[in-house]
Structure formats: C-alpha cells, structure tokens
C-alpha cells in the first residue's frame, strides 16, 4: 500500500484507480425510475480531487456534467444550517434510517420528523426551511455552487426536473404527510417544484469537488469567508459519514472511511477534512442506489493514499 505524503500529487493515484475500474466487470444499472437517467451508460467514469487551495486533479469523465440528484442535499443543508443554526435539528434528526431513501415507514411513529437530512423526507424539510428563509432555495443553491466551483454555466436540467415531477408521487406523499404534522411551512406544490429543480442540477466531478471544499476547510468558503462554524462543519461531515449513503452507510464507512454523500445520478462526494474533497461519477448503481464503480474507486483511493478519518 502506497501511503501518500504531503508533497505528492493525486494524479498518479487517480490514473491507477481509473485503470483498475476500467478492468472491473459489472458496473450496476442506472436509475430506471427517472427516465432521463435510465439511458446513461453505466461504464462512464470520472473522478476529481480538489485541494483546499482550489487545485483540482481529475481523470476520465471528470469534466462531464451529470445529474447531481441527492448530492445537492449536502449543500442545501449547509446553506440552511448557516442561517438558522441548531433550530434546524428540531425539525430533522441526525440518525441513520435503516430504510430506503424514499420510505414513509418511520415518519408516522416519529411524528413527522425525518430521521436525517439526507433521506428524501429530511431533504424536503431542509429545502422547505431554506425556501422560507430565501424565497428561492433552488436559486440559492445554484448561486452557491456557481461561486464555489467557479463555473458560471452550472444550471438545472429542466427535462430531468419535469421527469422527476411526473414521477414524484412518493415525494409528494412524504411532503403532505409531514405537513399534516406541521413540519412543512410552504405550500407542498411550491416545495416540490423547488426540490425537483434542486435535484436536477447538472455539474461535473470537478465542479462538485471544488464546491464541497468548504467541508475540508472546516466551514471556510473559496473566497475566504466563513459559511459554517467549526462545529457546524463537523456536524455535516458526521451526518454524511453515518447517513450519506442511505441504508449502506455502515458498509461505506467500513470500505471507504470518509464522510460521503451519494446520488442516484451516479455521483458521490467525499471529504478528507483538512486535506481534500473528492467527487466520483459512474451511473451504474447497486441495489441501494449507490454507484458501484464510485464506491470501489473511493475504497481504492483511501487504501492507496492512507487518507481517511480513521
């Protein structure tokens, strides 16, 4: 195992990982319940690593925009937590769910309080609260990602948003159910429009590795201003580690050893606090909705570099 020292660059590691992934059979299947994602080639692969100073390395399709989906939940969480602080945690929990990401099961016996901000119910609550505070949660997210990534062209995919809306009955049910407990402030149709637009955002591995850099910098944005307190940055990283890959979080922590967040578009972002942020993309998913090649690549990254939180 090659342990990385501070003077080494990430390029040789990324190239080795890409070569290994290319030889790996069985890449899973793209998400088929969103027609706009079903046509993606499961053998596409890209990976980027961004250092705290904004230096970014990449391999494969690392500059190819893809549908971010649930990766955006990390950023909306940060944007809302920065505004309202600990009050947020009165409306959404911080515990792993143990159930699929779109499950309604726990909401009823937990009085409409979602287990964590990364399952769909929890993300709807966070988006709702950000919408109340900004008037345009999706627009706030887009502006933030454009600034942090340095990519002014980063934008929503209206076709994907429409596709999700057309197949969004489960999310609508979650939102209405939580509204019945008083845990949603805005009209459900307005909230769903914001949520589907948020999830449709297109970005590349390079964009997302750079945009997540504030989590490696302990809450500091790319321009040097502070978004989160040290404690809040720690909180988000902790919830990513325990809840970021749905009901596979334990296996992800075991294999990868980093805070991470996956999306059904095939992307995963991960954080090495103080050292770097990563984004990997490959559309083929396992049965729990995580990128098969993405998890394997992050597993190899922490093995080859020795960089993990453990």
| 195 given a catalytic annotation | yes
For the question of residue 56 being annotated catalytic, the response is no
- Check 92, 126, 195, 272 and give the catalytic one: 195
Q: Which of 67, 70, 97, 262 is catalytic?
A: 70
- Alpha-carbon distance of 223 to 218, in angstroms, equals 14
Annotated catalytic, 254? no
Q: Give CA–CA dist 278/306, Å, rounded.
A: 15
pLDDT truncated to tens, each residue of the chain (310 aa)? Answer: 455 555 568 999 999 999 999 998 888 999 887 777 888 899 999 999 999 999 999 999 999 999 999 999 999 999 999 999 999 999 999 998 766 666 777 888 889 999 999 999 999 999 999 999 999 999 999 999 999 999 999 999 999 999 889 889 999 999 999 999 999 999 999 999 999 999 999 999 999 999 999 999 999 999 999 999 999 999 999 999 999 998 899 999 999 999 999 999 999 999 999 999 999 999 999 998 999 999 999 999 999 999 999 9
Cα(65)–Cα(202) distance, integer angstroms: 5
- This prediction has a pTM of 0.95
- Contact call for residues 83 and 65 (beta carbons, < 8 A): no
Measured CA to CA, the distance from residue 162 to residue 164 in angstroms comes to 5
Q: Which of 103, 149, 239, 246 is catalytic?
A: 246
Name the token pair of 215.
Answer: 């989590």
């Amino acid at each position: 195992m090659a342990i990385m020292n501070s003077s080494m660059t990430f390029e040789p590691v990324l190239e080795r990982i890409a070569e290994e992934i290319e030889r790996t059979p069985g890449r899973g299947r793209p998400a088929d319940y969103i027609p706009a994602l079903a046509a993606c080639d499961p053998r596409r692969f890209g990976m980027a690593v961004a250092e705290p100073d904004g230096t970014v390395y990449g391999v494969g399709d690392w500059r190819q925009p893809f549908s971010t989906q649930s990766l955006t939940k990390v950023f909306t969480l940060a944007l809302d937590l920065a505004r309202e602080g600990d009050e947020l945690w009165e409306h959404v929990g911080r515990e792993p769910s143990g159930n699929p990401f779109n499950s309604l099961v726990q909401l009823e016996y937990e009085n409409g309080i979602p287990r964590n901000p990364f399952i769909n119910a929890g993300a709807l609550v966070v988006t709702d609260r950000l919408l109340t505070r900004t008037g345009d949660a999706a627009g706030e997210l887009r502006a933030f990602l454009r600034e942090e990534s340095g990519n002014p062209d980063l934008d929503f995919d209206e076709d994907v948003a429409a596709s999700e809306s057309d197949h969004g009955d489960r999310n609508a049910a979650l939102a209405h159910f939580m509204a019945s407990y008083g845990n949603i402030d805005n009209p459900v149709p307005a909230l769903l429009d914001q949520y589907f637009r948020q999830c449709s955002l297109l970005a590349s591995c390079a964009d997302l590795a750079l945009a997540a850099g504030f989590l490696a910098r302990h809450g500091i944005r790319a321009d040097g201003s502070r978004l989160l307190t040290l404690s809040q940055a720690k909180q988000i990283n902790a919830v990513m580690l325990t809840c970021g890959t749905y009901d596979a979080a334990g296996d992800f922590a075991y294999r990868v050893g980093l805070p991470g967040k996956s999306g059904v578009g095939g992307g995963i972002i991960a954080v090495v606090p103080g050292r770097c942020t990563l984004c990997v993309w490959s559309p083929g998913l396992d049965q729990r909705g995580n990128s098969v090649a993405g998890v394997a690549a992050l597993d190899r990254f922490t093995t080859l570099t020795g960089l993990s939180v453990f």
